[in-house]
Amino acid sequence: METSTQHKNREEEIIFLLSRQDEEGLRKLYKHYAHALKGVLFKIVLSEETAEDLLQDTFVKIWNNFHSFDKRKGRLFTWMLNIARNLAIDKIRSPKYQAIQKTDDIDDYVYAIDKSENESYQPEHIGVKAVVETLKPELREVINLIYFLGYTQSEVAEKLDIPLGTVKTRIRSGVIEMRKYFK
């Protein structure tokens, strides 16, 4: 089992290599994070093939935009997770994707639902889901809708019938509470 020091050293090495556009950094990044990112993508798009395509897009975007990563603002995995999540949400909101979903066979959905229940990756593996579960119910609800289900802040405000400012405050409060667990 890897210690947190070993993980931090590995992450620092990957960051160093990627900042120099060294392809070895991309290989190591893929080796250590692809499975977790693909799991997140699959949870959003419910399609193995689409998740694999988005995973490739995620790594291309990471490679092309690594100069924008700032380790003072957050961890590498969090930055990559946001890239993957945003790509997946953009995909499922695209008119083309929505049109395809309307014509998909019901068997595809049964397979996707069954697959998601048996997927080896779970957010608990990185500890985020467990930490979210420790939050106050009103914070947990907002965090779950935004980060795990892909809602926008405006959609959460509408769904929960609360002001947008309240949604933003709850997100901020939830993130502050969660940071205590990851320090």
Of residues 59 and 44, more confidence is placed in 59
Rounded CA gap, 4 and 134, in Å?
22
In terms of domains, do 161 and 114 share one?
no
pLDDT above 90: percentage of residues in the chain:
37
pLDDT at 118: 46
Rounded CA gap, 60 and 14, in Å?
16
First and final C-alpha spacing in the chain: 20
**Does residue 115 register a pLDDT over 50?**
no
Summarize the confidence of residues 46-58 as an average pLDDT: 91
Look up the CATH number of the domain holding residue 65. Answer: 1.10.1740.10
In terms of domains, do 171 and 87 share one?
no
Task: Choose the final residue of a domain: 73, 95, 119.
Answer: 119
Tokens in use for 79? Answer: 């930055």
**Does residue 18 register a pLDDT over 60?**
yes
Domain assignment of residue 10, given as a range: 1-119
Nearest to 59 by CA among 76, 82, 43, 80: 80
Alpha-carbon separation of residue 28 from 16, 37, 111 (angstroms): 12, 14, 31
Task: Choose the final residue of a domain: 119, 143, 169.
Answer: 119
In terms of domains, do 59 and 95 share one?
yes
Residue 114 makes CB contacts below 8 A (sequence gap 6+) with: none
In this predicted model, what pLDDT tens digit does every residue of 122-150 receive, in sequence order? 444 456 777 888 889 999 999 888 887 77
In this predicted model, what pLDDT tens digit does every residue of 60-83 receive, in sequence order? 999 999 999 998 888 898 899 999
pLDDT at 104: 53
Q: What mean pLDDT value characterizes the chain?
A: 82
In terms of domains, do 169 and 104 share one?
no
pLDDT at 9: 82
Nearest to 11 by CA among 35, 36, 34, 28: 28
Report the number of distinct structural domains present in the chain.
2
Question: Does residue 29 sit in helix, strand or coil?
Answer: helix
